[in-house]
């Protein structure tokens, strides 16, 4: 396995990340716990150390499975997760958005599901129509100061929105 620095100053990660959007069956398809463990172990045995997930993947089951799989070896992996303003497992529930309150609530829930004290890379998964970028950045800064996240980023945000 080859490794590289994430960004310019980030952690050393394997060039191949393990995406875990299908760890769990909350969406009606995906890998059950036995299959998820086999995939995870094969990746780790090949030298992989970069795990990607999101709070919404399989309605939280992906993070829960990873929490179990990482027990006793958390420090061997770089863990990236995302919070989202997307779909909910509860029909009719409003999306939460990217505001600071939602971000803090989401990181606490992810930390609990992942059974960890920190998230190495925390992403805002999608833009919303109302939360200013400045509020998202301030929220990330607060979480980093609190030691809950080490690095932060934006996923699926159009470049024109960030260029201001």
In this structure, what CATH number is given to the domain that contains residue 53? 3.20.20.100
| Within-domain flag for 32 | no
R_g of the chain computed on alpha carbons? 16
The pLDDT assigned to 90 comes to 58
The pLDDT value given to residue 100? 85
pLDDT, residue 163, reads: 80
Clarify whether 57 is annotated catalytic: yes
- Whether residue 85 lies inside any domain: the answer is yes
Q: Are 78 and 120 in contact (CB under 8 A)?
A: yes
18 within some domain: no
In the prediction, which pLDDT does 160 show?
A: 87
**Is 25 inside any structural domain?**
no
Domain presence at residue 15: no
In this prediction the pTM is 0.91
What ranges make up the beta strands (E) of the chain?
3-5, 12-14, 18-19, 50-52, 78-83, 119-124, 149-154
Q: One of 3, 29, 43, 57 is an active-site residue; which one? A: 57
Average pLDDT of adjacent 10-residue blocks, the chain of 164 residues: 95 98 97 99 99 95 98 98 71 66 90 98 90 92 98 92 76
Q: Is 77 inside any structural domain? A: yes
Domains held by the chain: number:
1
Domain that residue 78 falls in: 49-94+102-164
User: For residue 132, is it within any domain?
Assistant: yes
């Amino acid at each position: 396995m080859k490794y590289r620095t994430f960004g310019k100053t980030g952690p050393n990660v394997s060039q191949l990340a393990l995406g875990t959007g299908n760890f769990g069956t909350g969406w009606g398809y995906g890998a059950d716990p036995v299959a998820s463990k086999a995939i995870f172990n094969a990746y780790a045995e090949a030298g992989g150390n970069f795990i990607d997930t999101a709070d919404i993947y399989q309605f939280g089951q992906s993070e829960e499975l990873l929490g179990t799989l990482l027990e006793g070896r958390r420090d061997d992996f770089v863990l990236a997760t995302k919070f989202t303003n997307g779909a909910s497992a509860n029909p009719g529930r409003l999306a939460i958005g990217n505001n600071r309150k939602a971000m803090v609530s989401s990181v606490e829930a992810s930390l609990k599901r992942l059974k960890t004290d920190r998230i190495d890379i925390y992403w805002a998964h999608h833009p919303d129509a109302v939360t200013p970028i400045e509020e998202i950045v301030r929220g990330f800064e607060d979480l980093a100061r609190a030691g809950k996240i080490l690095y932060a980023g934006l996923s699926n945000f159009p470049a024109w929105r960030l260029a201001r």
